[in-house]
Amino acid sequence: MSNTDLSLLKQLSENSGRYRDPLVTIDWAGLDGDSFWLPEPALSLYGLPEYDTLAVDVKRRLSQYEFINVMCCGLWLESVFLQRLSRRLGLGLPRAEYEYFLHEMREETGHSLMFLKAIEHSGLALPPQAWRAPRLADFVVHWMPAGGALFWLATVIAEDVPDKFNRYVRQNADAMNPVVKQICTLHIVDEARHIAAARSRLEAALQGGPGWQLKLVLQPVMNLLFRQLVDTFYVPPASFYELAGLTHGEWWRKLAHGNAVHREFTGQCLAPTLRMLEGYGLKPRS
């Protein structure tokens, strides 16, 4: 690890020093079921004629379940990251790297506890197995070698895609529950450090071998991970539509996949991530 990388990790650790525990920072009493939890333009059905026919309480409940879907994605991604990163911890690591990883694990654990608390406090039904990670992507991220270019590329994607969504929500939060804005804001602040560290490790890994060989391996795996993450993150499971009060959830999910307005919204959120990856010579296809 270069002196530049170590200096970055030292600075990020200093910035993480004043840890904010989400369980005591968030105003949980304000998280109620009487308000939207996402801006309406972020909803998977927004823009469809069928959406306009829905009652306000159904739209509101749909926004709550779509944010729960976002949090379930976060729980999955952070659990994988914590499992893989914990195996790399050891006193043999450079002090700055070891210390930073401990800070990041504390923050990622806090995020997962925050999501669990929000789901519990919502009082909304979430049956076991209602949400499942995409199988192939889950297999790949559990078995890819930890610490190499592929691992850090997956980490960058897994952190940057939700981050850009959170930033949209925070900037358009006037007509939604303020506690959701608090959750997104806390997540954004921490993830800015995590993304900076992951990009630093990815760039170092990309310099470690012939570019064409790395890209030959990275490109197809990246396409798989990117496509499945985006699909899972932006369109909830069929059962979530039914939990929100819509019958025939598979039909509604199919409508969401074909929703041109939502595809445009997704594309706008993903544009910064795509530009970043293209800067590494990679061209993801969603």
Structure tokens at 223: 């396409």
Would you say domain 58-279 falls under CATH 3.30.70?
no
Compute the distance between CA of residue 70 and CA of residue 166 in angstroms, rounded to an integer.
10
Percent pLDDT > 70 in the chain is 96
- At 210-234, the pLDDT tens digits run 566 667 778 888 899 999 999 999 9
Q: Is the pLDDT of residue 27 over 70?
A: yes
Q: Per-domain residue ranges for the chain?
A: 58-279
pLDDT over 60 at 118, yes or no? yes
**Average pLDDT, rounded, for the chain:** 92
Q: Which residues neighbour 9 within 8 Å (Cβ) at sequence distance 6 or greater?
A: 96, 97, 99, 100, 197, 200
Q: Each residue of 133-191: pLDDT tens digit?
A: 999 899 988 888 777 888 899 999 999 999 999 999 999 999 999 999 999 999 999 99
Neighbours of 154 (CB within 10 A): 26
Collect all residues with Cβ–Cβ distance below 8 Å to 14 and sequence separation of at least 6.
none
Query: Residue 128's Cα: distance from chain center in Å?
Result: 21
For residue 212, what pLDDT is reported? 63
pLDDT, position 273: 95
Residue 3: pLDDT band (50, 70, 90) is low
pLDDT band at residue 286 under the 50/70/90 scheme: low
State the first-to-last Cα distance of the chain, in angstroms, to the nearest integer.
33
Could you give the CA distance from residue 133 to residue 60 in angstroms, rounded to a whole number?
25
pTM above 0.85, yes or no: yes
